[in-house]
Amino acid sequence: MDLFGVRILGLNAETLHKVALSLVVVVAVLGVRALLTVVVGLGTGVSRRTIWTRKGIRLAFGAVGTLLLLSIWFDNPNRLATFLGLLAGGLAFASQNAVLSVAGYFVIVFGKTFDLGDRIQIGDVRGDVLDIGLLKTTVMEMGVPALLMPDPHHWVASRQYTGRVVTITNAEVFKQPTYNYTRSFNFLWEELRLPLRYQADLPRAEAIVLAAVREATAGIIEEGHRDLAQLRERFLIHASELEPRVYLRLTDNWVELSARFLVKTYGVREVKDAISRRVLARFREEGIDLASSTLEVVRLPRVELRAAEDAGPADASLPADS
């Protein structure tokens, strides 16, 4: 085709026909995909099922559109094979992380590493999964206790949202361990450590702590037993104690009383807060004191200063080197 006397290479009637067909395919695929995506969510709201259905529609129509476009432009199988070979080689060389992220997507989805709504940790990022894309995973970040990760960027020292949304490439599943808090067992074993004086009434303190734990976790044990029974049907797991227990550990300064109990994955801070308030109130009633590494000054010793009333001649007779 000539344009102002200049022959444009590759632009002819056949090419224009393919361009027109490509535009029709793109518009049709995008339109039908958008329509089906809207229809899927009607009357059901947002749920894990509707989100995955929409993702499946996007991927399916994306694959169909790509196949149609390749069929339009590469009607010769030999040219198509050459193009795909060059494309694969270029991607493998220039976009290794992108290829690895796509592979990570299939590991996450089909390997059931985690799902939408799961609470996970990959590397230094902990939070709830908001979205799983072909290249990246989006996480609503939660705080980290300072003892576990003393990072000043984590200003929330508990498992609660910080408000930040973190994006992680799917390639990280090949590079770092992935921790899932909710996938198979939606419970956690938590511990509350209390330092007590050696003179404290330890049996009474243990009874108070156990009573507070049982009151705050009422009903959780039964649910935990049901989930644990289902877990044993899938995995070879040894019997585990779900009832709250109290353990003692001797240190140089105090007796450490550790209460181990079962909680749900969400709402751990509220449960520990309720237990701490009950324990403190009961300790005050019973006169049980918590130990501390701080120095407590009870009173200053009495100091008396007396001035000499008489300076006798004996003082003057002392030798000079005395």
Domain extent listing, the chain: 13-73, 118-180, 187-286
Of the ranges 16-30, 140-154, 167-181, which one carries the lowest mean pLDDT score? 140-154
Token pair 């039964």 in the structure block, residue: 222
More confident residue, 318 or 125: 125
% of the chain with per-residue pLDDT over 70: 75
**What is the mean pLDDT of the segment spanning 189-208?**
93
Please check the confidence at residue 149 and state whether its pLDDT lies above 70.
no
**What pTM was computed for the model?**
0.66
Please check the confidence at residue 40 and state whether its pLDDT lies above 60.
yes
Give the count of alpha carbons within 13 A of 212, CB side only. Answer: 23
More confident residue, 230 or 206: 206
**What is the mean pLDDT of the segment spanning 44-63?**
75
Helix axes 48-73, 13-40, angle to 10 degrees: 170
DSSP state of 290: B
Tell me the C-alpha distance between 300 and 84, whole Å.
87
In CATH, the number for domain 187-286 is 3.30.70.100
**What is the mean pLDDT of the segment spanning 209-224?**
91
**What is the mean pLDDT of the segment spanning 162-173?**
92
**What is the mean pLDDT of the segment spanning 308-320?**
52
**What is the mean pLDDT of the segment spanning 168-193?**
91
Please check the confidence at residue 31 and state whether its pLDDT lies above 60.
yes
Tell me the C-alpha distance between 178 and 319, whole Å.
84
Tell me the C-alpha distance between 306 and 239, whole Å.
75
Which H or E run includes 192? strand 187-196
pLDDT at residue 120, as a whole number: 93
Nearest to 171 by CA among 136, 129, 126, 127: 136
**What is the mean pLDDT of the segment spanning 280-293?**
90
pLDDT at residue 99, as a whole number: 82
pLDDT digits (tens, 9 = 90+) for 262-273: 999 998 889 999
Phi-psi region of 55 (alpha: psi -120 to 50; beta: other; left: phi over 0): alpha
pLDDT at residue 148, as a whole number: 63
- pLDDT range class, residue 318, cuts 50, 70, 90: very low
Three-state secondary-structure class, residue 263: strand
